[in-house]
Structure 1
Amino acid sequence: MRRGTIVVGLALVLAACGDGSDAEGMSDAEALEAVEASQKVPAQELVLDPIGFGDIELAGALGFSCTFAARQKPDVVLALASREMGLVKTGGEMVRLAPDPGSGETVAGSWRNYDGQAISFTLALEEEGQPMAPEVTVYPAQLTIRDFNGDVAYESAGMAECGV
């Protein structure tokens, strides 16, 4: 009798464990992935403010750099990439980002990636630029800003003016 009770009990335990699927036929891994995806905060579009010469001067970013302007507004600087820092302005506040030397240099000599507390950006320059002055070259460029989750919060094609 005792042996029969143990066998029935063991059968009930194994039946309760199931095969790792829930009622909808999802595996535990798929269910976990679905829960994590539902808890992820979607990226909010980042609105960039123009960066003026005074902003650059106050940030101590005078000297060699690449300034990015979107195609829609070619005379408005939206990001700056130098060897020492990256800069963007949003909500009226300058955001300073640290260069990521491991990302490699661009053809102009600035870094490709910059990291901050809440955002990071990548400034990708095309290989061929157009000299505009003895120490200034303009490159077709792409600016991509990601939020703390790694989601794209801003992306635009434009031009990067690199030089002193």
Structure 2
Amino acid sequence: MRRIVFALFLLPVLVACGASEAPEEPIDMDKINEDAMGPVDRIEPEPLTFRKLSEHDLLGAGCNFTPDASEEPVFVVDQTRAHFLLENRLVGMSPDVGSRELPYGVRTEYDGLTHSAEIWLAMDTAKAQDSDQAADTEQAADTEQAADAEQAPDTEQVQSPEVTYYRGTLEIRDPRGRFAYSATGQWQCGA
């Protein structure tokens, strides 16, 4: 009798162990990692006016990027550094010397403490501008320079005789390598 009671007691336990559950969905590790990093903080670089470029000593041989939706450059780059303005603070980056070299010693990749950037120039869209054309397009900048020169009469003004324009793209990434800013526009390279 004991055996029968024991068997009746053990029977539901054995039936429960043998029941198969519905298969679980596979774990999406990419989704888990993405959720752990939080949302991407999108940025909008601020325009770099001639005055700001002068104040921060960012004038010279190199390139600057003006997005299609803007009239002022938002990113300047030369052989040794790249900069953009974010929340009225200048963000600097150093060139990745292993990346491809572009005109005027500019590199395609730059890394900083808080952001990194990647530059693409469509080399087949280069449009050189001679000194007569450059004089017309720099007339507005000359007006601003003249106002600065009135404030500082000992300031020497230097104009570049040649500028080359390229269609291109600028991408800025956050500290975790995610796209924080991406724009297509015009790269202006010159001395």
Tell me the TM-score range normalised by the shorter chain. 0.7 to 0.9
Larger helix share, 1 or 2: 2
Contact 2:41 2:180 in 1 (8 A): yes
Counterpart AA for 1:126: A
Superposition deviation, residue 117 in structure 1 = 0.8
Secondary structure of residue in 2 paired with 1:45: coil
Contact 2:78 2:104 in 1 (8 A): no
Counterpart AA for 1:98: S
Larger strand share, 1 or 2: 1
Residue 53 in 1 paired to residue 50 in 2?
yes
Distance 1:140 1:34 in 2: 35
Contact 1:135 1:163 in 2 (8 A): yes
TM-score, length basis structure 1? 0.76
In the TM superposition, what are the counterparts of 1:91-110 in structure 2 within 5 Å? 91-110=87-106
Contact 1:68 1:79 in 2 (8 A): yes
Number of paired residues?
Answer: 139
Distance 1:125 1:100 in 2: 16
Counterpart AA for 1:64: A
- Percent of aligned positions that are identical: 25
Residue 153 in 1 paired to residue 185 in 2?
no
Counterpart AA for 1:94: L
Q: Which runs of 5+ in 1 are unaligned?
A: 1-22
Distance 2:31 2:107 in 1: 36
Cross-structure match for 2:84: 88
- Structure with bigger RCO (C-alpha 8 Å, 6+ apart): 2
Contact 1:106 1:124 in 2 (8 A): no
CA RMSD of the aligned region, Å?
1.9
Write out per-residue CA displacement over residues 3-58 of structure 1, whole angstroms, 9 at most, x where no aligned residue: xxxxxxxxxxxxxxxxxxxx7253xxx46554323212221110111112232223
Distance 2:28 2:190 in 1: 52
Cross-structure match for 1:65: 62
